Amino acid sequence: MTSSDLWTRETAERYDDPDDWVNSPEVTGPVARFLAEVADGGPALELAIGTGRIGVPLWEQGVPISGIELSQPMVDVLRRKVTAEEIPVVVGDMASAEAPGVGTYSLVYLVYNTVSNLLTQDEQVACFANAARHLAPGGRFVIELWVPELRLLPPTAVAATFDVSDRHVGLDTIDIATQLLTSHHFTKDGDTYRRGESNHRYIWPSECDLMARLAGMTLEVRYSGWDRSPFTSDSLSHVSVWRKPA
């Protein structure tokens, strides 16, 4: 039984909001191009493929794509874009589910902080192991993950604001001892605000590297973002690439 939040049909129907910047071609295009280069002509597996925000643009670039997704409603939305023959998806837990062609993928990837949806370290370790299991020799595992801005958290404070705009106010409540946090979203919906929450366990980059080593993979490169900018102590996110031995 996974600890991840399960996205509902209501959430799935809103997920591709065209007014949300993460769904714009200016965001998804560079991600898909980066992943296509890393796939290097081979097939790719997206863990937590969702509605295909990245999987579909990557498939449109000619990369064969499969997916694993916990939420059936998210897959239902994906099916409005592509058929099961075009992008096959297994409904299941990304830490344990097996996709067809296990051991043959050139690329396995997780985008937009999704690995943090697993709320225990054991499940996150299992997710890295599952990614490695699906990779062909020499294949790569890529994740995108934020770096918590704990330096900005005042002493005794339990919450940090991460977004304030006309359409959205977001804040995180954080338990530093357990690395668990809840993101609280207040999104403008007509004349009212809609409240939503999501739960996460953040992972430091060094902790990710250890999880990768336990799965038999080694760090190949780490960037601050999909534009391949250098990762530094001031980076707010990272795109990391680990490789399975050839």
47 and 159 together in one domain = no
Distance CA 27, CA 205 (A): 23
Q: Which amino acid is at 137?
A: P
Please report whether residue 78 resides in a domain. yes
Range of the domain at 91: 9-148+203-243
Do 184 and 78 lie in one domain? The reply is no
- 185/236 same-domain check: no
pLDDT at 171: 86
Q: Are residues 136 and 222 in the same domain?
A: yes
* 67 plus 186 within the same structural domain: no
User: Are residues 53 and 40 both part of a single domain?
Assistant: yes
DSSP 125: H
Which residues does the chain have with pLDDT short of 70? 1, 21, 152
Backbone angles phi, psi at 170, to 5 degrees: -130, 140
Residues 166 and 67 in one domain: no
Of the candidates 47, 203, 70, which has an alpha carbon nearest to the alpha carbon of residue 125? 203
Per-residue model confidence (pLDDT) at position 243: 98
Select from 234, 215, 208, 235 the least CA-distant residue to 223: 235
pLDDT in tens, 160-199: 888 888 888 888 888 888 999 898 888 887 888 888 888 9
How many whole angstroms separate alpha carbon 118 and alpha carbon 111? Answer: 14
Q: Is the full-model pTM beyond 0.75?
A: yes
Q: What local confidence, expressed as pLDDT, does residue 14 receive?
A: 78
- Cβ-proximal residues to 174 (8 Å cutoff; 6+ apart), any chain: 148, 150, 153, 158, 159, 160, 180, 181
Q: Are 92 and 191 in the same domain?
A: no
Residues 190 and 232 in one domain: no
Cα–Cα dist 182/176, whole Å: 12
* Tokens, residue 200: 């996460």
Q: How many domains does the chain have?
A: 2
Domain membership of residue 3 (yes or no) is: no
pLDDT at 1: 65
Six token digits for residue 33: 């191009």
Q: Are 94 and 214 in a shared domain?
A: yes
Instruction: Look up the CATH number of the domain holding residue 127.
Output: 3.40.50.150
